[in-house]
Structure 1
């Protein structure tokens, strides 16, 4: 953690830790997916470990085909489940949505595994074909 920012991380540090670009992090901020927890005296975005964790969830969702709206809904559902003041109905609705997201993630992961298998098969085929000397 950076000591000159009072324990907060600057956006560049967050980008490095999450492997997301500055532009992407700013876009997620504009969309309301993750907002900086503070601002420096100069107006720079400052993030906490919890903010970094949210960004890592988003980063995991992106390759699985989740839209920004679905990402926001999932993060909101997590917040509902973490908030002890939410009603039983809110908690049930949030948990139900998380189960839907889990199923979508599982299906997407299976599709990606299949695509990876095809890519590996093609790579092996091309390696075998290029290993043969040309006439």
Structure 2
């Protein structure tokens, strides 16, 4: 698929997709006869991983590290010449688990922040509904 379709499917701008290409996070799987990049479902999946990592505060380098680990694990072919040595596989699995734990912690922090924001919005609604004006909204509750 062409970059416009990828942008629509991932909700990323063309500029962001090109930036991720430059950063090595995604490499178009092919080129059209005119030289335009073409992407596969796997490319879209990679971009979605990066898109999901960004709001959690992960850096481009961390996204690259995670994608590299996932790629290596995905290429593991037990019982063939493509089988990863057990020690390397364990290191890669541990690396992915570190990212999973970090994501879980960041989600919990965002939930706490959201709860505080909802409480604040609720206090504003209450003060406006009580007829006492907006001054009440900024007074601390005891």
Same fold (TM over 0.5): yes
1:45 positional shift: 1.4
1:5: which partner in 2?
A: none
The superposition leaves residues 83-120 of structure 1 with CA deviations (integer Å, 9 ceiling, x where unpaired) of: 12133222111101001001100110000001111111
Q: What is the TM-score normalised by the length of structure 2?
A: 0.84
Which residue of the other structure, out of 129, 132, 136, is the alignment partner of 1:131?
129
2:35 alignment partner, SS class: coil
1:134 positional shift: 5.8
Moved over 4 A (4+): none
Which residue of the other structure, out of 95, 98, 111, is the alignment partner of 1:113?
111
Structure with greater contact order relative to length (CA < 8 Å, sep ≥ 6): 1
Gaps of 5+ in 2: 134-142
The superposition leaves residues 36-78 of structure 1 with CA deviations (integer Å, 9 ceiling, x where unpaired) of: 1111122211100011111111111111111111100100000
1:103 aligns to 2:95 (yes or no): no
Q: Distance in 2 between matches of 1:113 and 1:98?
A: 23
Which residue of the other structure, out of 8, 31, 34, is the alignment partner of 1:42?
34
Q: What is the TM-score normalised by the length of structure 1?
A: 0.88
- Say which one has the larger Rg: 2
